[in-house]
Structure 1
Amino acid sequence: MSTTQELPIIFVDDNGLDAARLTDTQRRWADANGFAGQAGKLLALPGEEGALGGYLFGTGKSAGSSPLIAGLAGAAVGAGTYRLEGAFGDPTLAAIGFRLGAYRFDRYRAAKEVPVLTLPEGADSAEVERLVAASTIARDLINTPPNDLGPDALTAFIETFAVERQMTIKTITGDDLLEAGFPMVHAVGRASAEAPRLLDLAWGNPLDPKVTLVGKGVTFDTGGLDIKPASGMLLMKKDMGGAANVLGLAHAIVSAGLKVRLRVLIPVVENAIAGPAFRPGDVLKSRKGLTVEIGNTDAEGRLILADALALADEESPDLLLDMATLTGAARTALGPDLPPLYATDDVLARELMAAGSLADDPLWQMPLWSPYDAMMNSKIADVNNAGSSGFAGSITAALFLRRFVENATAWVHLDIYGWAPEARASRPYGGTDQGIRAVYGVLKQRYPA
């Protein structure tokens, strides 16, 4: 097949073949192959003289289909140029879905040519490009192994990211973190051969509403002295998934020119094991002044986030939002595809869930249940980082973080997974974006360009 030939992918609802305008030969072929618009089913169509004439693609019952179901087609077709026809729904979402489904991470193997999509009529080309780029940033970073994306390499990427988007950037590294007031970022990362650091990016008009994003940037997590089992470390390259998704979201915000003063804070560390490693039983002082007893060195993400959130909170942002691959309890509660959302503003939480539903980027609000604060009591410090119980682990982690936010008008915490254990529409196996489209959709409504 020539890669310059544009082939149709004809979207067909359940039992909707009559509307597909097929030739008699193609209709008989579809019937003979049992094609009736089943969700995700792709059928090659015969063309003239034995050539490929395009594809039928089933969307199933439209009410139950993913808005980005076109991603299954993007993942299944080979190299070539395609156009969408038929019942594909919103043209912008369909194009985003197709492009995200065609995503490949080929850094460590021979690259395969990806399918090219001619944008359907009515699609917002700028929106497609920015949201596909936002997801790709997150996916590429998460998929990169820690030998090529330690603290130094992630910092270099972020510095380039900032320059390309005309963002200011300030980096505090190593022992300078102590002098600058970030003792928990320093403690978590000091055992690594690559120094811990905090990156502070800014963009936009200082007079516009303040939106601050904080992303957990643990480039690899051994668990520290409370070491993880081997099976628990296999995916720990994704422990910087919060930072990766925050960067993707920042790209979308800047690309769209939203009317915000954007600030991005990313604490970057490797939770390694060596002589200087922080220990179970240590008591750390935080930027906010609260003392934290270390009940478990594998609950390190909340420590570095706490220092960054305290910094963000000092300027009373209109919205403070953090993303973090924080707890296994979140996956136990809601699985890998549905991140818990915690918010101090219930109206905002409902807006985020609605936007996520529209963009196939689901979120689910969980309670900041204050009685569980007592689970993190310490007999010698203000709070324990791990708590005394195995119950409600995602909630108690969110409650821990809430202690470091007082002044922000609204605070949102997303406990994301950042990984697709099985391929589905618009999400191939591997590192994935979560929360970007949902949050961007709300920000676009609240702060339009």
Structure 2
Amino acid sequence: MAEPFLFRPDPPCLDALVEAPAEGAPAVPLIPIRTDALEAWLAEQPPERAAWVRAAGFTGRAGAVCPLPGDGGTRAGVLVGLGDGDDPWALAGLPRALPAGAYALADGDGADLAETAALAWALGAYRFDRYKTAPGDPPARLVWPAGVGRAAVRRRVAAVAWVRDLVNTPAADLGPAELAAETRALAEHHGARFHEIVGDALPAENWPAVYAVGKGSARAPRLLDLRWGDAARPRVTLVGKGVVFDSGGLDLKPASAMLVMKKDMAGAAHALGLAHMIMDAGLPVCLRVLIPAVENMVSGTSFRPRDVLATRKGLTVEVGDTDAEGRLVLADALAEADGERPALLLDMATLTGGVALGPNISALFTRHDALAADLLDAATAVDEPVWRLPLHVPYRAMLDSTVADISSTGSGRLGGAITAALFLAEFVSPETPWAHLDLYAWNPKTKPGRPEGGAVQGLTALYGLIERRFGA
């Protein structure tokens, strides 16, 4: 039913950006306008046009449109509202809202708006329709705006579309083996090296926590390892939580919470999307991606509450709740990454998701103030909300165990996002520049350019951080 690989450097939504309109059908001009500039624009128009716009009730609200009549029943153009001008998604609803055909930004619009428009248009055209038996209506198309860095737009759109596709794919079709195939396809596209450790080989090669979490599933757990770039360059390592489905294990989730658990591999999807952007841009780094790919299921071989697990670092962990499995598999991957002393170590995971900050804001944890400042600056520059939460050391006592070196969940649920991050911190050396992003990775309802389903959080901000620190 499903395609063998979801990774595509040119996803279908990029087809909504075209070189030129079809012959004999000139592009309809789009006239973007801010709310505070509307009256001045109307004052310069013929009285009939100004009266038409006012009668239509157009105010310049972000995403609003007002077709302008031309001679013989044609469209002279379309007014497009930008609101106060700070909404990067203002044009994202247009590919599905406007009639089919080609459109082009009116002359005189700046390069900044042009790039924003191209990104919003392509992402607004995105659909997850691989299980639909009838194709939907094609989106309206935008002529590539002048002055746009097309490679950068294509890179970002491809990464976002792929992350969405991965998160949206049902767990039945995206198990650990399929996630491995996705990673291998990415490696082959970019000439990277790929290695995986599967099933019973995991404990034999000292990946005990990954194996413990995944051995309850009929689908064998795996450790996915991608390497790319010159070893003499700064080492950047990405770690992504790859829990393809989370039933909660023996501490079973309620049904309502299980409904979106196909998204529990969103950290891995973000790591892969970010890796694509880094490799596609040819950033001068030595990249490594580590993904523990497991399914947390219930069976006679499932790990249990109060089990004591070994880890790659040598620390023992008492299992407080089998539904807090992500931090266990990340522990092994972070220990391996930290052992190479990377110049930057980033992990992405749906650990506590939107509990602390809701579905739109990523939670950032790091010991390093300079790293936090750089990432927050990069996030602000691309309008991807990230909020730093404290690694509050006194809460570490909540993770004390009487029988093991550390408990996975500790003595209570209070401060859960913080204690989860403190648990991960145990597997990373204090001197390693490390940041943990706790993601929700799901849109509860559709908004322009962001359909209900898999959501991308912080991806472009993380890329911007890496580009600023290590770019040529």
Using structure 1 for the length normalisation, give the TM-score.
Answer: 0.94
**Structure 1 residue identity aligned to 2:423:** F
Report the alpha carbon displacement of residue 23 of structure 1 after superposing the two structures with TM: 5.6
Distance 1:245 1:367 in 2: 23
Q: Is the 1:68–1:360 contact (alpha carbons within 8 Å) kept by the matching residues of 2?
A: no
The answer on 1:384 being equivalent to 2:407 is yes
The residue aligned with 2:219 is: 194
The answer on 1:77 being equivalent to 2:98 is yes
Report the alpha carbon displacement of residue 16 of structure 1 after superposing the two structures with TM: 2.2
SS in 2 for 1:154: helix
The residue aligned with 2:156 is: 131
SS in 2 for 1:438: helix
The answer on 1:91 being equivalent to 2:114 is yes
Report the alpha carbon displacement of residue 376 of structure 1 after superposing the two structures with TM: 1.0
Distance 1:350 1:151 in 2: 35
The answer on 1:343 being equivalent to 2:366 is yes
SS in 2 for 1:16: helix
The answer on 1:401 being equivalent to 2:424 is yes
Q: Is the 1:70–1:98 contact (alpha carbons within 8 Å) kept by the matching residues of 2?
A: yes
SS in 2 for 1:172: strand
Q: Residues 22, 219 of structure 1: CA spacing in aligned structure 2 closer, same or farther, 3 A cutoff?
A: farther
Distance 1:295 1:105 in 2: 37
Report the alpha carbon displacement of residue 196 of structure 1 after superposing the two structures with TM: 0.1
Q: CA RMSD in A?
A: 1.9
The answer on 1:423 being equivalent to 2:431 is no
Match of 2:135 among 104, 111, 117: 111
**Structure 2 residue identity aligned to 1:253:** I
Report the alpha carbon displacement of residue 151 of structure 1 after superposing the two structures with TM: 1.3
**Structure 2 residue identity aligned to 1:319:** L
Match of 1:19 among 41, 46, 56: 41
Distance 1:22 1:293 in 2: 72
Residues 212-267 of structure 1 show CA distances to partners (whole Å, capped at 9, x for unaligned) of: 00000111100000001110010001000001111111110001110100000011
Q: Is the 1:215–1:324 contact (alpha carbons within 8 Å) kept by the matching residues of 2?
A: yes
Distance 1:332 1:58 in 2: 34
Q: Residues 147, 54 of structure 1: CA spacing in aligned structure 2 closer, same or farther, 3 A cutoff?
A: farther
Instruction: Report matched runs for 1:222-261 at 5 Å.
Output: 222-261=247-286
The residue aligned with 1:211 is: 236
Report the alpha carbon displacement of residue 46 of structure 1 after superposing the two structures with TM: 2.6
The residue aligned with 2:58 is: 35
Q: Residues 23, 151 of structure 1: CA spacing in aligned structure 2 closer, same or farther, 3 A cutoff?
A: farther
**Structure 2 residue identity aligned to 1:19:** W
Residues 353-395 of structure 1 show CA distances to partners (whole Å, capped at 9, x for unaligned) of: 1211221222111111111111111111111111111111111
Distance 1:84 1:340 in 2: 36
Q: Is the 2:367–2:430 contact (alpha carbons within 8 Å) kept by the matching residues of 1?
A: no
- Aligned-residue sequence identity (percent) comes to 50
Distance 1:111 1:347 in 2: 48
The residue aligned with 1:178 is: 203
Q: Is the 2:63–2:92 contact (alpha carbons within 8 Å) kept by the matching residues of 1?
A: no
Q: Is the 1:214–1:322 contact (alpha carbons within 8 Å) kept by the matching residues of 2?
A: yes
**Structure 2 residue identity aligned to 1:69:** A
SS in 1 for 2:327: helix
SS in 1 for 2:364: strand
SS in 2 for 1:208: coil
The residue aligned with 2:174 is: 149
The residue aligned with 1:316 is: 341
The residue aligned with 2:302 is: 277
How many residue pairs are counted as aligned between the two chains?
Answer: 444
Report the alpha carbon displacement of residue 66 of structure 1 after superposing the two structures with TM: 1.9
Moved more, 267-276 or 48-57: 48-57
Q: Residues 76, 347 of structure 1: CA spacing in aligned structure 2 closer, same or farther, 3 A cutoff?
A: farther
**Structure 2 residue identity aligned to 1:404:** F
Q: Is the 1:3–1:79 contact (alpha carbons within 8 Å) kept by the matching residues of 2?
A: no
The residue aligned with 1:8 is: 29
Q: Is the 1:68–1:359 contact (alpha carbons within 8 Å) kept by the matching residues of 2?
A: no
Q: Residues 302, 78 of structure 1: CA spacing in aligned structure 2 closer, same or farther, 3 A cutoff?
A: farther
Distance 2:262 2:70 in 1: 46
The residue aligned with 1:101 is: 124
Q: Is the 2:361–2:385 contact (alpha carbons within 8 Å) kept by the matching residues of 1?
A: yes
**Unaligned stretches of 5+ residues in structure 1:** none
SS in 1 for 2:92: helix
**Structure 1 residue identity aligned to 2:171:** P
Distance 1:295 1:163 in 2: 40
Q: Residues 401, 349 of structure 1: CA spacing in aligned structure 2 closer, same or farther, 3 A cutoff?
A: same
Q: Residues 81, 381 of structure 1: CA spacing in aligned structure 2 closer, same or farther, 3 A cutoff?
A: same
Residues 69-127 of structure 1 show CA distances to partners (whole Å, capped at 9, x for unaligned) of: 32233453344322223767442233112211221111111333233322222211111
Q: Residues 147, 78 of structure 1: CA spacing in aligned structure 2 closer, same or farther, 3 A cutoff?
A: farther
The residue aligned with 2:67 is: 44
Q: Residues 3, 222 of structure 1: CA spacing in aligned structure 2 closer, same or farther, 3 A cutoff?
A: farther
Q: Residues 87, 392 of structure 1: CA spacing in aligned structure 2 closer, same or farther, 3 A cutoff?
A: farther
Moved more, 278-287 or 151-160: 151-160
Q: Residues 281, 31 of structure 1: CA spacing in aligned structure 2 closer, same or farther, 3 A cutoff?
A: same
Report the alpha carbon displacement of residue 60 of structure 1 after superposing the two structures with TM: 1.2
Distance 2:277 2:96 in 1: 23
Report the alpha carbon displacement of residue 282 of structure 1 after superposing the two structures with TM: 0.5
